[in-house]
Amino acid sequence: MDKVIRRLTTRSAIAAIVAIGVVPLAGQAYRAPRLADGKPDFNGIWQALSEANFDLEGHAARPAMALRKGPFGPVPAAPVLALGAVGAVPPSVGVVDGGTIPYKPAALATKKKNQEDWLNLDPEIKCYLPGVPRATYMPYPFQIVQSPSAMMFVYEYDGAVRNVYLKDPGPALADSWMGQSVAHWEGETLVINVTDMNDRTWFDRAGNFHSDKLHVTERYTRISADVINYEATIEDPEVFTRPWKISMPLYRRQEKNVQILDFKCVEFVEELLYGPWRKNPLK
C-alpha cells in the first residue's frame, strides 16, 4: 500500500510540474505574439475607453464644458444650452499619475482662460489634427500597422496618420501637428519619442495645453491578447515645473468586420469657420 501511495504522489507531482510549464503563473508577464523579426506584434485596431478627452485630471460631472454663472450655480453657456444632457461632462477619476498636472503659475492662468473660452479655442471643435498624446484617447478607434521594417498609426478622427520611424532620421525639418515619432524597443515595450510638435494642440477639452517645446515619451506594452497598457510622459519646461505622466489601457476592437472608417471632419466645420463670410449668413 505504501508503494502505491508513493507512486500516486510522484505522478501527482509530475502532473503539477507539467501544468506549471503549460499555464502561466499568476503575475507572470504576458508575452505577445511575434513578427518575423522577433518583435512584439501590435497590429490591430485599438481604442481607449475613458473620459480623458474631456479632462485628463480627475473631475466631477458638470452640466457642460462651457459654463456661465446662474442664479444658483453654474449653468451651460448659451451656445450649448440646447444640448442638454448630451453636452454634459461625465465624471472621471483621472489618468494623471499623482492627480494634478504640475503647471507653472502663469501657465495655469492660461489653462483657466482656455477653459473659459473653450468654445472658441479648443482645436478639436475646428477639426484640427489632435497631436500626441491626445490622438490616442479621443473617442475614436485607431489602427497600428506594423511590419519588421515599418510602422504607422492610422486614426479615425480627421483621417490623421502618424509614421513611426524605426531608425532615427535626425531632426525634423519643421514643427507639425503630429510631430516626429521615433521608436525603439525595451523588451516587450514599444517606446516612441515624439518631438517637433507645434503649440496649436491641446491635451483635452479642459484647456490643458503645451508649448512647442513639448516632448512626449510613449510606452506601449501588451499585457494580454486584447489589452495594451499605454503610458505617456510629458515634458515641457516652458509650461510645467517637472515631467508628468498619464496611463490607461487601450482595448482591441472585437467586431468581426471592424475597420477604420472615414471621419474627415474638416467639411463638417466649414460653416463654423467660414459661414460668417457668406453674402447671406445662415441663421
Domain boundaries, the chain: 44-52+95-277, 59-92
The SS3 of residue 108 is helix
For residue 153, the surrounding DSSP H or E stretch is: strand 151-155
Q: Amino acid identity of 233? A: T
Task: Provide the terminal-to-terminal Cα distance of the chain, rounded to the nearest Å.
Answer: 95
- Tens digit of each residue's pLDDT (9 = 90 or more) over 68-127: 999 988 999 999 999 999 999 999 999 999 999 999 999 999 999 999 999 999 999 999
| Among 202, 248, 256, 203, CA closest to 221 | 248
Q: Cα-atom radius of gyration of the chain, to the nearest Å?
A: 24
Query: Residue 22 burial by CB count (10 A; 0-12/13-18/19+): exposed, middle or buried?
Result: exposed
- List CB contacts of 184: < 8 A, sequence separation 6 or more: 166, 191
**Among residues of the chain, what percentage have pLDDT more than 70?**
90
pLDDT digits (tens, 9 = 90+) for 113-148: 999 999 999 999 999 999 999 999 999 999 999 999
Mean pLDDT of the chain: 91
Compare 270 and 20 and report the one with higher pLDDT. 270
Element (H, E) at 234: strand 227-235
22-61 residue pLDDT tens: 444 555 689 999 999 999 999 999 999 999 999 999 999 9
Amino acid at 163: N
Specify whether the CB–CB gap between 56 and 133 falls below 8 A. Answer: no
The average pLDDT across 16-26 equals 45
- Name the band, by pLDDT with cuts 50, 70 and 90, for residue 16: very low
Closest alpha carbon to 122 in 226, 243, 209: 209
